Amino acid sequence: MKALAEVFPPIFNQLCRWHIQQNILKHCCRNFNSMPQFENFMAAVKKLAISDTEKDTQKTLQQIEIDFPSQAVDYFKTQWWYGRERWVELHV
């Protein structure tokens, strides 16, 4: 992706939400006690992706930080949240 930005500086590179979800599954599933808990986490991530307002986005993120294992939340925030302008509808 870095090469894309260097070769085509003005291009916007949107990330695929399906691939993001697959990476979250790969790296976070083991941090959950049950599959339903993991599915709830993924539903919350999907809710973030389609948030209409920054207020809704922040509210959902705060709930994720409260409800789910810190290892999964840390991975999500480090790998995906800080680049959200490339996959969250509010920013795309």
DSSP-assigned states of every residue in 5-28: HHHSTT---PPPHHHHHHHHHHHH
**Is position 55 within any domain?**
yes
Residue 90 confidence (pLDDT):
59
**Is position 25 within any domain?**
yes
Q: What is the pLDDT of residues 55-90, one digit of tens each?
A: 998 999 999 999 999 999 999 999 888 777 777 765
Domain total in the chain: 1
**Is position 53 within any domain?**
yes
pTM of the model: 0.79
Domain region containing 62: 15-86
Q: What is the pLDDT of residues 3-24, one digit of tens each?
A: 656 766 666 556 777 888 898 9
**Is position 43 within any domain?**
yes
